[in-house]
Amino acid sequence: MSPAVHTKHYTDPTRGTAARGHLRWLTSPPSGVRLPHLHPGDGTTLIFEYVAGPNAAPTDLPAVATTLGRLHAAAYAHELRHARLEQPFRTATGLVIPASIPKQSPSFERFG
């Protein structure tokens, strides 16, 4: 019997491929957060290991925030600290994170 899986379908192969790249990037730095294994698939299908248990509820918000914080801290320590808000950033896995603040934005003066 094959293991249980969760399948996510995309109508646009570009979006499916991008989602695969995002997960690969999230799992690249050691964060201590266990993310589901991604099985081989194609551009329109992501096949994840099934993780048993309930979905997050509003009372789980502190734990979810802590988990997201651990992922962000690991990404920052691994390579995100080299990113600039006004420029696209290419990660070691090839993911390109777009610029967040245009140079001509008033916010750029505050944060740039």
- Predicted pLDDT of residue 86: 87
pLDDT in tens, the chain (112 residues): 456 999 999 999 999 998 998 888 888 888 889 889 999 888 899 999 998 889 999 999 999 999 999 999 999 999 999 999 889 999 988 889 888 876 665 655 555 5
Residues 78, 101: Cα–Cα separation, whole Å: 22
Q: Is 45 within 8 Å of 9 (Cβ atoms)?
A: yes
Spell out where the chain has E strands. 5-9, 38-42, 45-49, 89-90, 96-97
Q: Which residues does residue 9 pair with via DSSP β-bridges, in sequence order?
A: 45
- Predicted pLDDT of residue 1: 46
- Predicted pLDDT of residue 63: 95
Residues 45, 8: Cα–Cα separation, whole Å: 6
